Chain A
Amino acid sequence: MNTHTSSVTAAEPTQKASFSSRFHVRSISGLIGLILVGFWLVISVIGPMLSPYPPNDFVSNTVFGPMSMKHFFGTDYLGRDMFSRVLAGTPYTIGVALAATVAACLAGVISGLVAAAATSWVDMTISRTQDALISIPSKMFALIMVASFGSSVPILILTAAIAYMPGSFRIARSLAVNVMTLDYVQVARLRGESMPYIIFKEVLPNMFRPVLTDFGLRFVFIVLLLSAMSFLGLGIQPPEADWGSLVRENIGGLSSGAPAVIMPAIAIATLTIGVNLLIDSIGSKSVQH
C-alpha cells in the first residue's frame, strides 16, 4: 500500500561540495549585489552625517582638484568638496528613485490584480488605459511633465512612477492571469472562497518573486531616468544635486579625467550593478525550485 514512501534510497555522501560549483558562484554574485545595495542604502541614511564639509560650501581654491587626503574625491568645478557632495546626493538619488519605484509597482500590481480578477469589461478599460500610457516614451513624458509643472521632488517622483507603472501593470496582470487559471485557484473558487482570499492567499504569494525581480529592474530604470533628467538639468535643481546632476555639473572635467565627474558616475554604476546582481540571484533561486 505504501510502496511509494519507501523509495528513498540511502544517501551516501561521495564528494564534498567544490567551490567552483555553479551554486556557489551564483550566490557569491548575489552576495556582492547584496553588499553593494546594502552599502548604498546605509549611506543614503547616514551619509549626510559623515560628510566632512558642508556640501554647498566652497572649500578649496582649486577646481577639479585631484583626490587627496583632504578631499577624498577631489573638488568640483567650483571648488566644493566632491566627497561631501556625493554623500549629499545619495538620499536624493536613492530616495526619489525608491519612492517612485514603490509607487509605480504598487499602482501597477494593484491595477494588474484588479484587471485579472475583474470582469472582462473592467479589464479592458484598465488595460487600454495602461497601453495608452506605455506608448508614450518615458523621457518624453518626463520632459512634458517637468515643462508643465516645473521640477520639484514630488513632481519627479510622480513622473517616474507614472512612466513606469504600465510596465509593472503588464507583468503583474499577466502573472495574475496565469496563476488564476491554475488548478489550485480553481479549487479555491470551487470551495466558494471570496475574491480577496483568493488574491491574497493563493495568487499574490505565488507572484511575489517575479514581482520583486521586476521591482529591482524598475528601480534601476528609474535611477537611470532620474539621472538622465538631472543630466539634462531638469531633475533636482541646484544647489542641491543628485548623482546625475553631479555628473552634468562637472562634465567639464571629463577631458582632464577629474574624479569629480568619475566618482558620481561610478556611484550610479555600482548601485545599478548591485541591484542587478541581487535580482539575478533572486531570479535564479526561483528557477532552481
Chain B
Amino acid sequence: MTELVKVCGLQVAVRTGAGVDVPIVHGADFSLHKGEVLALIGESGSGKTTIALSLMGYARSGCHIVGGSVHVDGTDLLTLSPSKLAKVRGRTVSYIAQSAAAAFNPAITIMNQVIESAMIHKTCSRREAEKKAIGLFRELALPDPEHIGERYPHQVSGGQLQRLMAAMALITDPILVILDEPTTALDVTTQIEVLRAFKKVVRERNTTAVYVSHDLAVVAQMADRIVVLKNGEIQENSLTKDLLIEPKHEYTKSLLSAMKPESRQDTVSQNIMDLETSTPLLEVRNLEVCFEKGKRVLQDIDLKIRRGSTVGVIGESGSGKTTLARSIVGLVEPSLGNIYLDGEALNASASGRTREQLRRVQYVFQNADTALNPLHTVEDILARPLSFYHGMKGQKRRDRVAELLSLVHLPDSIAKRRPTELSGGQKQRINLARALAAEPDIILCDEVTSALDTVVGAAILELMADLRKKLNVSYLFISHDISMVQAICDEVVVLYSGFKVEQGAGESFQRPPFHPYTQLLIDSVPEMKQGWLESTGANHETLPKIAPIKADVVLCPFLDRCSVRIDGQCNQVIPDRKKLEKGNQIFCHHSFSNKKSQALEVEEQPISQLQSV
C-alpha cells in the first residue's frame, strides 16, 4: 500500500514584530495511507493546527512555511503556485474547523453553503450536488435530510451545524479531510452524536483524515494512529492501541495521567457534618429567573453552601449555570426567591448591596480573556480591590500584590505586564488572584478551566484546592465536566434546562443509581479505550414510546430525551423531588429503590475511571 499523504521535514516559523523568525514547528515527518485516520494531539501552542493547515499549503498570517515537503497524492503542495493551491483547497483537501458557527454565513441557506465548493470547483451540476448533499445529510444522521438544507444556520443546533460542516467538507469527495477540534466546542452529550456520525462516514467512504484534538480520549475513538506533539516537535508516533496501552514517550505518559482527575475529598467532609445545623454561609432559596415573560431559565433552585465547602454545578450548555451564578452576585435579577449571606437576605441587584457584601462574594468569570482590562497592568488589576476594599496604599499594597502573585504561583516580574502578554493559564490565575485580593468568603468559579489545556487546568484546580485549605474559602464551582466536579466537590447539583434534577454529595456520584440525565452525562464522557464509542449506552437506544402530550401541562423537562420514561406517568404529571437511598435528591418519577428493575444497573462502573476532557 502506498502512502497517500507524506510530510517530510516540515518547518514553520512565525515572524515577530522585530522581524525575527521563531520556529514553531521543527521538522515534522509523518505519513498516511489511504483510508487511515491520523490524530495530531498536544496542548495548545504545540503546533497542531499549524501542521494541519500546512497540509493545505497554508500558513496563518504571521507564519510561513520555511522548509520541508507536503506530498498529497503525489504532488508537493508547498511548490504549487497560489492559483493551483486554490484548486486543491476544498477540492483535494478539505477542512472542518472548530467552530461551525463561525464558518457558516448566517444569511445564506445551509444547502447553498454546503454545495458551494462543488460549484466553485465545478465537480458536478447543481442538481447532482444537492442530491449528494442530501445523501451526506442522511449518512451523518441529520434529522429530515431532504429539507434541512433549506434552513438557515441559526435554525439548527450546534451539533447539527458541526455535522453539516462535515457534509460541506465531503461534498467534493476530497482525498484528505482535516478535522480541527471539531467537537471541542460541544457538550459531551452532543459530542457523542457528532463523533458517531463522523466515524460512520469516515468508515463508509474510506476517507483519509487528519484529526486534530487535545483530547486523548476522543482521539482514541477516532484515529488509527496518533502523533503526539509538544512545542512543535513530534514526541511519539504510534498506533492508537499501542499508545494507550504502553506509551513510549515520557510526555505521552504525563498526558495520559493528567487526564485522570484525582479525588480531593480530604478536607471538609467532617466540617459539613459539624455544621449541618448552623446557618449556611450562602443560601439560595426558591430561585426563579425569567428573561422574557413566561420563559423560565431557572426555577425552584435551592442551594446551601457552607463555610469552606465546595459545591459543584453541572449541566449542558444553556442549562442555566451561568445564570445561577450571575443571579447570586446580582448581575441578573431573579423574578422570585432570595439569596442569603450568613442568613441575611441580599438585595437582588449588585448596585443595592453594601460594599462589604460585595467583597464577601466574588465571581470569577468564565472567560479570563475578557475579564481582565487589556490596558491595565497586572499590578493595577490586583491593586484596585486592595485599595477599594481594604484601603491599602504604597509599599504595603505592593507587598500584598507580590504576596497574591506568589499565592497563585506566579513570579513577581509579571506585575508590570498587561493581560495581552500572558498565557491563558496565567490570565486565569490573575483572574483568581483578583478575587482573592478581596479576601472573600466565597468564590463563584464559572468554568474556570474549560478554556485551558488538561495539564494547565489540572494545575489551576490543584491551586484552588490548596487555597481552600489555606484560606478556608468556599467555592461554587460551575462546570460541564462531571468527572472533574464530582472529584473536587463536596456537593454536586445537576441542572437541566433550568431545573435542579439531582443533588447529592460529590462521592455519591461514583455509584448508581442516578437521575436519567445524570446517567446520560456520565455515559457520555469519553473513556480512554478504543471501542468505547460503540459500546457506551448513551444516546443509543430508541426511546420508549409515550402517548402524545397534552398542551400546556408542565412536565419533566427531560421527557423528550429520557430513555426510561414511563408512559402514563412522565407524560401526564410533573414528578416530585425524591430522596434516594444513597442520600441524593432527584427530580424524577423513578425512585430507583427496586434495583433489579433498572436498566441503569447495566452501566455500573466507578466514575473514577472516567476521563476528563
Instruction: Indicate if A193 sits at the interface (CB-CB under 8 A).
Output: yes
Q: Known contacts being A4-B426, A5-B426, A184-B373, is A189 close to B388, with CB within 8 Å?
A: no
Q: Which residue of A lies closest to B230 (CB)?
A: A7
- Residues of B within 8 Å of A4, CB to CB, are 423-426, 453, 455-456, 459
- Residues of B within 8 Å of A202, CB to CB, are 373
Contact A206 B21 (CB under 8 A): no
Instruction: Indicate if A122 sits at the interface (CB-CB under 8 A).
Output: no
Binds B, one of A13-21, A35-43, A51-59, A128-136: A13-21
- Residues of A within 8 Å of B411, CB to CB, are 5
How far does the alpha carbon of A14 sit from the alpha carbon of B330 in the complex, in Å? 53
Contact B358 A192 (CB under 8 A): yes
Instruction: Indicate if A23 sits at the interface (CB-CB under 8 A).
Output: yes
How far does the alpha carbon of A189 sit from the alpha carbon of B20 in the complex, in Å? 42
- Residues of B within 8 Å of A239, CB to CB, are none
Interface size class on chain A is 20 to 34
How far does the alpha carbon of A40 sit from the alpha carbon of B448 in the complex, in Å? 53
B22 is contacted by which of A11, A187, A193, A205 (Cβ under 8 Å)? A11
A12 is contacted by which of B23, B329, B355, B384 (Cβ under 8 Å)? B23
**B residues 353-393 touching A (CB-CB < 8 Å):** 353, 355, 358, 362-363, 365, 367, 370-375, 384-385, 388-389
Instruction: Indicate if A9 sits at the interface (CB-CB under 8 A).
Output: yes
Contact A193 B388 (CB under 8 A): yes
**B residues 327-372 touching A (CB-CB < 8 Å):** 329-331, 350-351, 353, 355, 358, 362-363, 365, 367, 370-372
- Residues of B within 8 Å of A23, CB to CB, are 17, 19
Instruction: Indicate if A62 sits at the interface (CB-CB under 8 A).
Output: no
Contact B358 A190 (CB under 8 A): yes
B373 to chain A: closest CB distance in Å?
A: 4
Contact A206 B423 (CB under 8 A): no
Instruction: Indicate if A68 sits at the interface (CB-CB under 8 A).
Output: no
Interface of B is mostly: mixed
Contact A9 B232 (CB under 8 A): yes
**A residues 133-192 touching B (CB-CB < 8 Å):** 182-184, 186-187, 189-192
Instruction: Indicate if A69 sits at the interface (CB-CB under 8 A).
Output: no
How far does the alpha carbon of A14 sit from the alpha carbon of B21 in the complex, in Å? 5
Q: Known contacts being A1-B409, A190-B358, is A184 close to B20, with CB within 8 Å?
A: no
B482 to chain A: closest CB distance in Å?
A: 25
Q: How does the 8 Å CB contact mask read for B453-482 relative to A, with 1 for contact and 0 for none?
A: 101100100110000000000000000000
B249 to chain A: closest CB distance in Å?
A: 16
How far does the alpha carbon of A169 sit from the alpha carbon of B226 in the complex, in Å? 55
Contact B231 A16 (CB under 8 A): no
Instruction: Indicate if B13 sits at the interface (CB-CB under 8 A).
Output: yes
Looking at A9, A182, A192, the one whose CB has the most chain B CB atoms below 10 A away is A192
- Residues of B within 8 Å of A193, CB to CB, are 388
How far does the alpha carbon of A7 sit from the alpha carbon of B456 in the complex, in Å? 11
How far does the alpha carbon of A72 sit from the alpha carbon of B24 in the complex, in Å? 58
- Residues of A within 8 Å of B363, CB to CB, are 187, 190
B351 to chain A: closest CB distance in Å?
A: 8
- Residues of B within 8 Å of A13, CB to CB, are 20-21
Looking at A14, A189, A191, A193, the one whose CB has the most chain B CB atoms below 10 A away is A191
- Residues of B within 8 Å of A182, CB to CB, are 370
**Can you name 25 A-B residue pairings with CB atoms under 8 Å?**
A1-B462, A2-B459, A4-B423, A4-B456, A4-B459, A7-B43, A11-B16, A11-B22, A15-B19, A15-B20, A21-B19, A23-B19, A183-B365, A183-B371, A184-B370, A187-B434, A189-B331, A190-B329, A190-B358, A190-B362, A190-B363, A191-B389, A192-B350, A193-B388, A206-B374
Chain B: residues with CB nearer than 8 A to chain A? Answer: 13, 15-24, 43, 45, 66, 231-232, 329-331, 350-351, 353, 355, 358, 362-363, 365, 367, 370-375, 384-385, 388-389, 409, 411, 420, 423-426, 434, 438, 453, 455-456, 459, 462-463
Chain A: residues with CB nearer than 8 A to chain B? Answer: 1-5, 7, 9, 11-18, 21, 23, 182-184, 186-187, 189-193, 202, 205-206, 289
Query: 6 nearest interchain CB pairs?
Result: A17-B19, A4-B425, A14-B21, A183-B371, A183-B370, A184-B373
